[in-house]
Amino acid sequence: MIKDKLINADTYYGLSNSIKAGLEWLRSADLVNIKDGQYFIDGNRIFVNVQSYETKKEASFEAHRKYVDIQYMIKGAEKIGIADYSSCTPITEYDKDKDIEFLNFNNFPSFLPLREGEFMIFYPQDAHLPSLDLDKKLFVKKAVVKVAL
């Protein structure tokens, strides 16, 4: 898991050309005015889901096998739980079409805030629990770049 501000994105361009493309898209897109929906950077290899929602008190951990997530907070703030996948127990079967599995964490997870202008990168070993209330329920707008492994 990586957490940083988008202004430092070029620090991570060396991770892969696909992650670089996703981060460059986030830097160049008009994210303040972008509408919710799906945007393709490189077909199904790199695409973005822009979503607006209210944060919540509870959720389940999730993990992905085919894609790396770059979650970028456009507006608002939320708390995200982070855990090693090996410390979790599946509560649903892996859905290969949606590339998602929901999990329970068996110990004490870590929590970090994701604020406007910040991103987090989650690899398959990074179970994550997004969309939680930070201090109170907030309306947020977030872009999630999906980068195929």
For 63-88, the pLDDT digits (tens) are: 999 999 999 999 999 999 999 999 99
* % pLDDT > 70, the chain: 100
Q: In what order do the strands lie in the sheet with 46-54?
A: 2-5, 118-122, 67-75, 139-148, 46-54, 37-42
d(CA 141, CA 143): 7
> What is the DSSP secondary structure assignment for residue 23, as one 8-state letter?
H
Mean pLDDT in order along the chain per 10 residues (149 residues) = 97 98 98 97 97 95 97 98 93 95 86 98 96 94 97
Taking alpha carbons only, the member of 2, 60, 1, 48 closest to residue 22 is 48
User: Which residues touch 47 (CB under 8 Å, ≥6 apart)?
Assistant: 38, 39, 40, 41, 145, 146
Q: Could you tell me the two tokens for 92? A: 């649903």
Burial of 98 (0-12, 13-18, 19+ CB in 10 A): exposed
Report pLDDT for 112: 97
d(CA 52, CA 71): 13
The domains located in the chain, with CATH, are 2-148 (2.60.120.370)
Q: Could you tell me the two tokens for 136? A: 């109170």
What average pLDDT does the chain have? 96
Q: In what order do the strands lie in the sheet with 61-63?
A: 88-90, 101-105, 61-63, 126-132, 77-84, 110-115
Percent helix, percent strand, percent coil in the chain, to nearest 5: 15, 55, 30
